[in-house]
Structure 1
């Protein structure tokens, strides 16, 4: 998501205090570094916002400015300029990006300071924008920018962020648009209504069916079949609010040459086509300026205007996920709306805060159902929107396949053998994750997470919050991050690092290495066995806790060993690195 916010108005000259720094991170699907992304606002006609950026001679860069919502009015037509260190204009752009948005691709002849100058076209207009910079010749968009690419001015059933109710039905009579008109089938109706419900789950848009027992010509959104081998489209739809649509606005036509009339399971092209066209019917555009037609060949290299224009990010994209070095795996098409779709719809109609607001399990042992129950079908790709509760991603049924689970909103996970095929929607909070029998990586978020590695050599990263990390069997690495965390190694030779905060590190069987980090930490030895090491024991602050029927301070053997302290009891030993044995006392221990 966004790294930098224009909290005070950026200067309109080289005195600007804002600078886009190179993050050192590679843009997905490339070796090109991305810079910080910005959310700023043009506050008045004639306002210009300048941002400093350091470029390297011979390197090609792409800069993009796009109108975004994110709680404020949108800058519908940004104008982007690139200037040299003296403020001289080098290149400018009006509509080189999607819609009326701006993109500049530039190869620096010299190294040094340059400035990006964001304004509105003709210096007329105000609103919020996103700004990005990346090495290479294709723009990089953060989440707000990507959502902005899907939203075009005036294409909605309501105002920005305002709820809407739309009637729908299944066309009874041909209105003359297609000569090959046919009724949609019962199977198609079931799939369409399922997709409509999925739209209502994430945003405050509801759909009321006209004539629930049959066909009609009197609804706002009307669904029909047609058949063509020459129009170049699998289906098409009319935008709401489009002056070209007339009385057809919101209507969806499914080409039965491409869309099945009897089988439309999630992950199939037929189901995907329904999701895509309903997106148009409620106001979502393609991420780029392309559209299917007779004889038209559309490719990612030629037509995608930013890197994230793939189906990994949006069902409105024409391009499969391989363009972003991903693999949706099972079935090849997304099962649900994807992260940019969710964010754009929520910005358009408001956020549905009632969906799965209780404790929900996704994956195995799921109570979410549908595409979120992996015991029924491993998904091609899903995005989780969850409004509340204490929630879990459970991959315990995935055998020994390695999982990479990230609980950070807007991020992707690799589950069930796929790559980046599970996403958590922006602003959704999932608290817990359970790994498989493989060697898993599980990444927490700012909430209080419970992360369980189970079998395999796992890596658990708590990040912020008061986390509980449980390694399970295998040689695991647990890092708590900030917050007062509990880390439990389990069997195997484990590495536990509490990070900042007052942490509780519990060694298990095996030879474990424990680092408390900053804060008053408890080092616990409850499952005795092995030769363990504490790297940073702080006398008078940290505490060693031992659980044993025979353990008491008098029964410990404590001695120096080359500048370290070694504590033995029975067949167990604990080494304290760089601790003087003479300074260790009974108050540094607790016996339970």
Structure 2
């Protein structure tokens, strides 16, 4: 009994020594919330955020939470300030007390929800991924490298930069799924319609906050042939950046890697070190395989994964990268750049002066209208320039 290590650093750097069940087994936990009107009670909005945080964890891993009126396995209280704390007795867990600061704003995209998610993460067996604990304490190895230790990758990080996380992030999901198993969620052929890069709906499930309050969140999808549709996003002069690889992020170009942080380390001097991460957007969880993307009307960068992707740029001057797999890339209108990557790919430039690169594999390249440049790369390729000076 206990916590076995996975051999993957972005999992093991988050695994604590405390546990509810053997690694890989599902768990059912009760929880209680202090309704008191005193300083250690939680008001209606705060209680709603606690329940939402529990739901977000239960959507990604085989964890069941049930509210009880008496003392549960998890007991939630209020406290002064904006931070939180989770405490327990022994490594074999039977009860965890969680105190959440009442001086933070509630609602998605605000600090209270991220702190609740963070402290519940501790209650589920996760630790901080860096060499820090509270204000001056040191952490327990292994650690994430500094460039990965931020709340774009894990909300267990103390490097809380950009906007607040409103769901577990990719490393959190990977670690908690290792502990309890991955939840079957959105397992059909799902179409995700985005109205912002941090808000989407698939027809029967929606997750979004205020359009004026950016946030960070993750998308977990366990199976099916899935499509991310960005055609309804507002036009944006800077354009958008959509990376559908595991751990990739869906954001705006001006948000991507736009925030700088000095990494937290309570035992080493990091004053001369600076790293960048993304300010807001939706990250792709590990194990979530997305097949198709419909781009926006702006200038998009779309990066495919190792599956057979169907990537459509739409309007704007787009850059599409198929990577591995037998992909279909369509630039649409505008002056587009298409790179099929490895595999036998089909590339169609559409209108505009396009650049098409088949790279390796037996590819089909069609320029469409406009003055296009076509390069099949290695392999037996078929190229059709179309109208214009190609």
Category of TM-score, reference length = shorter chain: 0.7 to 0.9
Relative distance call for 1:206 and 1:358 in structure 2 (3 A) is farther
Aligned partner of 1:62 in structure 2 is none
SS for the counterpart of 1:188 is helix
Shift of 1:416: 6.7
In structure 2, distance between residues paired with 1:239 and 1:434: 47
Question: Aligned runs of 1:45-84 on 2, under 5 Å?
Answer: 73-74=4-5
Question: Aligned runs of 1:364-443 on 2, under 5 Å?
Answer: 364=195, 366-367=201-202, 369-371=205-207, 373=208, 376=211, 379-396=214-231, 397-400=233-236, 401-415=238-252, 417-419=254-256, 420=278, 421=280, 422-443=282-303
Question: Aligned runs of 1:417-566 on 2, under 5 Å?
Answer: 417-419=254-256, 420=278, 421=280, 422-524=282-384, 528-532=386-390
Aligned partner of 1:252 in structure 2 is 98
Shift of 1:476: 0.9
Q: Does 1:195 align with 2:48?
A: no
Shift of 1:311: 1.2
TM norm structure 2? 0.81
In structure 1, distance between residues paired with 2:89 and 2:364: 56
Aligned partner of 1:235 in structure 2 is 84
Aligned partner of 1:314 in structure 2 is 154
Q: Taking CA–CA contacts closer than 8 Å with sequence separation of 6 or more, which of the two structures ends up with the larger relative contact order?
A: 2
Q: Deviations over 1:318-374 (max 9, x none)?
A: 2123xxxxxx4xxx2112211111111011111113345431315237317544x58
SS for the counterpart of 2:28 is strand
Shift of 1:504: 2.2
Aligned partner of 1:132 in structure 2 is none
Q: Deviations over 1:562-582 (max 9, x none)?
A: xxxxxxxxxxxxxxxxxxxxx
Shift of 1:418: 1.8
1:439–1:458 Cα contact (<8 Å) kept? yes
Relative distance call for 1:240 and 1:522 in structure 2 (3 A) is farther
In structure 1, distance between residues paired with 2:350 and 2:294: 15
Aligned partner of 1:17 in structure 2 is none
2:109–2:209 Cα contact (<8 Å) kept? no
Aligned partner of 2:275 in structure 1 is none
In structure 2, distance between residues paired with 1:202 and 1:376: 25
Q: Deviations over 1:430-483 (max 9, x none)?
A: 112233333322111111111111222211111111211111111111111222
Aligned partner of 2:63 in structure 1 is 205
In structure 2, distance between residues paired with 1:291 and 1:514: 55
Relative distance call for 1:357 and 1:168 in structure 2 (3 A) is farther
Relative distance call for 1:305 and 1:476 in structure 2 (3 A) is closer
Which structure is larger by alpha-carbon Rg, 1 or 2? 1
2:324–2:341 Cα contact (<8 Å) kept? yes
Q: Deviations over 1:385-406 (max 9, x none)?
A: 1111222233331313322211
Instruction: Pick the aligned partner of 1:350 from 181, 186, 202.
Output: 181
In structure 1, distance between residues paired with 2:213 and 2:349: 30
Q: Deviations over 1:208-259 (max 9, x none)?
A: 122xxxxx233111111233x6xxx61211248437x8x7x32211222x23
In structure 2, distance between residues paired with 1:403 and 1:318: 28
SS for the counterpart of 1:531 is coil
Shift of 1:307: 3.2
2:108–2:209 Cα contact (<8 Å) kept? no
SS for the counterpart of 2:122 is helix
2:186–2:221 Cα contact (<8 Å) kept? yes
Q: Which runs of 5+ in 1 are unaligned?
A: 1-68, 75-127, 130-143, 175-179, 211-215, 322-327, 533-592
Q: Deviations over 1:160-209 (max 9, x none)?
A: 111101011213679xxxxx653322222221111111101111111112
In structure 2, distance between residues paired with 1:486 and 1:334: 37
Relative distance call for 1:240 and 1:202 in structure 2 (3 A) is farther
In structure 1, distance between residues paired with 2:90 and 2:65: 17
Q: Does 1:146 align with 2:10?
A: yes
Q: Deviations over 1:106-133 (max 9, x none)?
A: xxxxxxxxxxxxxxxxxxxxxx64xxxx
Aligned partner of 1:64 in structure 2 is none
In structure 2, distance between residues paired with 1:304 and 1:444: 26
SS for the counterpart of 1:487 is strand
Q: Does 1:219 align with 2:49?
A: no
Instruction: Pick the aligned partner of 2:116 from 261, 274, 279.
Output: 274
In structure 2, distance between residues paired with 1:461 and 1:378: 30
1:157–1:240 Cα contact (<8 Å) kept? no
Question: Aligned runs of 1:333-344 on 2, under 5 Å?
Answer: 333-344=164-175
Higher mean displacement: 196-205 or 394-403: 394-403
In structure 1, distance between residues paired with 2:357 and 2:101: 57
* RMSD after superposition: 2.9
SS for the counterpart of 2:316 is coil
Number of residue equivalences: 354
Shift of 1:424: 1.1
Relative distance call for 1:188 and 1:337 in structure 2 (3 A) is same
1:147–1:344 Cα contact (<8 Å) kept? yes
